[in-house]
């Protein structure tokens, strides 16, 4: 039986439509309107244009290609946003399209297959993690309940500085001891790292080395992440170091979890004392949308320790460095402290809102020395359109806050350290003002910002209240080197060495 004539007409018509559709999608693909950027080489792409301080290389490139540019690094497209407008398009208007993180070897090997918060892809697991941060780990109540820990550790810093007795000290070592102790006690329940502690399984110096290594390995440009088909060669040896490091951390985390579980099993009226307790309790909750496994608890714990330790120490070190170059600012700050706090006691967290000038110094420090100059990389979960340009799915996205925070169209004399620019202005660091984004913004914004700010502001306030700061006698302020190194935290290249002299009545240092 012959098919009716309309069937073959219909078939012909369908074929034509299909062909046209195919052609038009092909044409659409060819006509993608990508953001401007430099021409790229085969295989390496634009890697030849990226130096040892990538945010500065991108800064220079953006002067040429504009506030939204596209590069090719190895096999990946990378979009870099470098203006208030483009940053807010990415972090606010299109936040949801860019709310995931690229998969990297560091995420895989050092955070239990992306089970932590920082590197976990967008989805129910990560959303639940953020909810835990908001309602449990960093709730106002929880942070307040730990205030005594922050005060005790601050006091021990003051005592140490006092006993340095006018000798030269490497400030950052003291600062990172404070933040490591604060964060260990809040997260793990005790210092854990005290020498002489009976079941101390790791020496403090070794643990600090592990944290440094973690930061380094999370910040490096690992070739395998960019040119995947040679990844297996591990030419730089980073993947091997990641695996070694992960083993060391795991041994520590296992010990911590076992101890916590033992206390839980044996004490009668158990209540959560620290963040690991809270996480273990959550892991037992049958009503969780996504089960939190043991390796998830370990990954979160490691995130909290890593995120909380280095960032505040680095920021305070930068602040003191800038102030040593600007003694007039120290005078103004100490006047404010004398007036608001007075010379008969130390600064408490409740004083901070009444210290606008000290807070302005912190903002100005974070403006010029952001801990994460390009935030943490994001990735496009879907095709998106930004400022008329196409950003295809899987494009990696960087927001170069280093450039934005030095933008002369936003800040007058951007290279000058001047806290005055923030005094009386309604600009905060909470991710609402795109000209100042030290903690990022949007769904992926730093969940630890309130803790980080508390530690930075009260350390700096007390350091200025309690001590006069001087460079070693043989050094002039102009000689103070302000270079940085790239890692995940952008610290000073040359650690700051200073002399601290007490400026309050001696009995106050008897803590
Ligand atoms: C001076 C202090 C701190 C600074 C400047 C800082 C900065 C940042 C930045 C820029 C991001 C990336 C935001 C983005 O991608 O848009 C981030 C993410 C993160 N921070 Fe912080 N941070 C600080 C303190 C802390 C503390 C105290 C903790 C925890 C104890 C913490 C835990 C995290 C975590 C878990 C993420 C990943 C969030 C996610 O991917 O969803 N940070 N931080
Ligand atoms: C950026 O440009 C400035 C001025 O031209 C130059 O001094 C600097 O070395 C460049 N930096 C990088 C990382 O390319
Ligand atoms: C990560 O996941 C892969 C497969 O899903 C598994 O083979 C591997 O053992 C996991 N690695 C870690 C560190 O959990
Ligand atoms: C930091 O803490 C470690 C271990 O508790 C100690 O050995 C070291 O001397 C401390 N460093 C400073 C600068 O206080």
Spatial CA neighbour of 128 closest among 109, 141, 115: 115
Separation CA 415–CA 277 (nearest Å): 45
Question: In the numeric block, which tokens belong to residue 272?
Answer: 């959560």
Task: Please answer whether residues 411 and 364 qualify as being in contact, where contact means their C-beta atoms are separated by less than 8 angstroms.
Answer: no
Mean pLDDT for 241-258 is 95
Task: Let me know if residue 12 belongs to a domain.
Answer: no
Separation CA 490–CA 377 (nearest Å): 15
Separation CA 186–CA 294 (nearest Å): 20
| Residue 133, ligand 1, Cβ within 6 A | no
Reported as a single tens digit per residue, the pLDDT across 290-300 is 999 999 999 99
Ligand 2 atom 5, closest CA: 60
Separation CA 244–CA 65 (nearest Å): 41
The pLDDT value recorded for residue 277 is: 95
Is a pLDDT exceeding 90 seen at residue 329?
yes
The pLDDT value recorded for residue 5 is: 57
Task: Let me know if residue 9 belongs to a domain.
Answer: no
| Residue 451, ligand 1, Cβ within 6 A | yes
239: left (phi over 0), alpha (psi -120 to 50) or beta: alpha
What percent of the chain has a predicted confidence (pLDDT) above 90? 79
The full DSSP string for 219-230 is HS--HHHHSGGG
Residue recorded with tokens 């600062």: 175
CA–centroid distance, residue 389 to ligand 2 (Å) = 27
* Alpha carbon of residue 324 to chain centroid: 26
Neighbours of 273 (CB within 10 A): 16
Task: Let me know if residue 448 belongs to a domain.
Answer: yes
The strand pair at 396-399 and 76-81 is best described as: parallel
Reported as a single tens digit per residue, the pLDDT across 139-181 is 999 999 999 999 999 999 999 999 998 899 999 999 999 999 9
Task: Let me know if residue 380 belongs to a domain.
Answer: yes
Task: Please answer whether residues 347 and 477 qualify as being in contact, where contact means their C-beta atoms are separated by less than 8 angstroms.
Answer: no
Question: In the numeric block, which tokens belong to residue 425?
Answer: 């202005």
Q: CA torsion angle for 281, 285, 291, 297 (degrees, to 10)?
A: 0
Task: Let me know if residue 450 belongs to a domain.
Answer: yes
Question: In the numeric block, which tokens belong to residue 183?
Answer: 């964060």
Is a pLDDT exceeding 60 seen at residue 431?
yes
Reported as a single tens digit per residue, the pLDDT across 184-240 is 999 999 887 665 555 567 888 888 889 989 988 988 889 999 999 899 999 999 999
1 pLDDT band (50/70/90 cuts)? very low
Ligand 2 binding pocket, CB closer than 6 Å: 51, 53, 56-57, 60
* 53, 60, 80, best to mutate for ligand 2 pocket (most atoms within 8 Å of CB): 60
The pLDDT value recorded for residue 4 is: 55
Is a pLDDT exceeding 90 seen at residue 403?
yes
485 pLDDT band (50/70/90 cuts)? confident
Reported as a single tens digit per residue, the pLDDT across 409-419 is 999 999 999 99
Task: Let me know if residue 158 belongs to a domain.
Answer: yes
| Residue 114, ligand 3, Cβ within 6 A | no
| Residue 113, ligand 3, Cβ within 6 A | yes
CATH number at residue 388: 1.10.630.10
| Residue 117, ligand 1, Cβ within 6 A | yes
Task: Let me know if residue 30 belongs to a domain.
Answer: no
Residues spanned by the domain of 351? 35-509
Mean pLDDT for 3-18 is 57
The pLDDT value recorded for residue 208 is: 87
The pLDDT value recorded for residue 344 is: 96
Task: Let me know if residue 117 belongs to a domain.
Answer: yes
Nearest ligand, CA 100: 1
The pLDDT value recorded for residue 31 is: 85
The pLDDT value recorded for residue 218 is: 87
Could you give the number of structural domains in the chain?
A: 1
Task: Please answer whether residues 354 and 419 qualify as being in contact, where contact means their C-beta atoms are separated by less than 8 angstroms.
Answer: no
What percent of the chain has a predicted confidence (pLDDT) above 70? 92
What residues form the annotated binding site for heme? 446
The pLDDT value recorded for residue 49 is: 95
Average pLDDT of the chain, as a whole number: 92
pTM for this predicted structure? 0.91
From 181-185, 265-269, 348-352, 387-391, the region with the lowest mean pLDDT: 265-269
Reported as a single tens digit per residue, the pLDDT across 434-464 is 999 999 999 999 999 999 999 999 999 999 9
Burial (CB count <10 Å: 0-12, 13-18, 19+), residue 308: buried
Separation CA 278–CA 262 (nearest Å): 15
The pLDDT value recorded for residue 193 is: 67
Reported as a single tens digit per residue, the pLDDT across 61-118 is 999 999 999 999 999 999 999 999 999 999 999 999 999 999 999 999 999 999 999 9
């Amino acid at each position: 039986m012959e098919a009716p004539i309309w069937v073959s007409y219909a078939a012909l018509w369908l074929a034509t439509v299909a062909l046209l559709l195919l052609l038009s999608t092909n044409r659409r693909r060819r006509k993608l309107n990508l953001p401007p950027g430099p021409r790229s080489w085969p295989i390496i792409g634009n890697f030849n244009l990226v130096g040892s301080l990538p945010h500065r290389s991108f800064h220079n490139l953006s002067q040429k290609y504009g506030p939204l540019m596209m590069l090719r690094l190895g096999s990946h497209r990378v979009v870099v946003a470098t203006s208030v407008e483009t940053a807010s398009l990415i972090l606010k208007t299109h936040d949801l399209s860019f709310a995931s993180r690229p998969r990297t070897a560091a995420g895989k090997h050092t955070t239990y297959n992306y089970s932590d918060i920082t590197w976990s892809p967008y989805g129910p697991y990560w959303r639940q993690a953020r909810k835990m941060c908001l309602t449990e780990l960093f709730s106002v109540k929880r942070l307040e309940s730990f205030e005594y820990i922050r005060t005790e550790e601050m006091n021990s810093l003051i005592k140490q500085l006092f006993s340095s007795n006018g000798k030269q000290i490497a400030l950052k070592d003291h600062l990172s001891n404070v933040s490591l102790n604060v964060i260990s006690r809040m997260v793990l329940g005790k210092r854990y790292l005290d020498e002489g502690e009976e079941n101390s399984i790791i020496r403090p110096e070794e643990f600090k080395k592990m944290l440094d290594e973690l930061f380094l390995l999370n910040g490096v440009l690992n070739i395998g992440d960019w040119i995947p088909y040679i990844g297996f060669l591990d030419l730089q040896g980073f993947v091997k170091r990641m695996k070694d490091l992960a083993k060391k951390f795991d041994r520590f985390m296992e010990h911590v979890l076992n101890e916590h579980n033992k206390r839980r099993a044996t004490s009668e009226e158990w209540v959560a004392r620290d963040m690991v307790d809270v996480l273990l309790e959550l892991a037992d909750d049958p009503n969780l949308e996504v089960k939190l496994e043991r390796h998830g608890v370990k990954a979160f714990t490691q995130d909290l320790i890593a995120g909380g330790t280095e960032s505040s120490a680095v920021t305070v070190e930068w602040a003191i460095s800038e102030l040593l170059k600007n003694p007039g600012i120290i005078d103004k700050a100490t006047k404010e402290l004398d007036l608001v706090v007075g010379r008969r006691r130390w600064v408490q967290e409740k004083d901070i809102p009444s210290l606008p000038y000290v807070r302005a110094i912190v903002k100005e420090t974070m403006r010029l020395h952001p801990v994460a100059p390009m935030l943490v990389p994001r990735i496009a979960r879907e095709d998106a359109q930004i400022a008329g340009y196409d950003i295809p799915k899987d494009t990696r996205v960087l927001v170069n806050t280093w450039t934005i925070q030095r933008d002369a169209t936003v800040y007058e004399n951007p290279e000058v350290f001047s806290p005055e620019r923030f005094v009386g202005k309604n600009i905060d660091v909470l991710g609402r003002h795109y000209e100042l984004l030290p903690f990022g913004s949007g769904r992926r914004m730093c969940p630890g910002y309130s803790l980080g700010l508390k530690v930075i502001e009260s350390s700096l306030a007390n350091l200025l209240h309690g001590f006069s700061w001087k460079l070693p006698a043989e050094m002039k302020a102009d000689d103070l080197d302000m270079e940085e190194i790239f890692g995940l935290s952008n610290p000073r290249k040359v650690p700051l060495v200073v002399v601290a002299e007490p400026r309050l009545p001696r009995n106050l240092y008897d803590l």
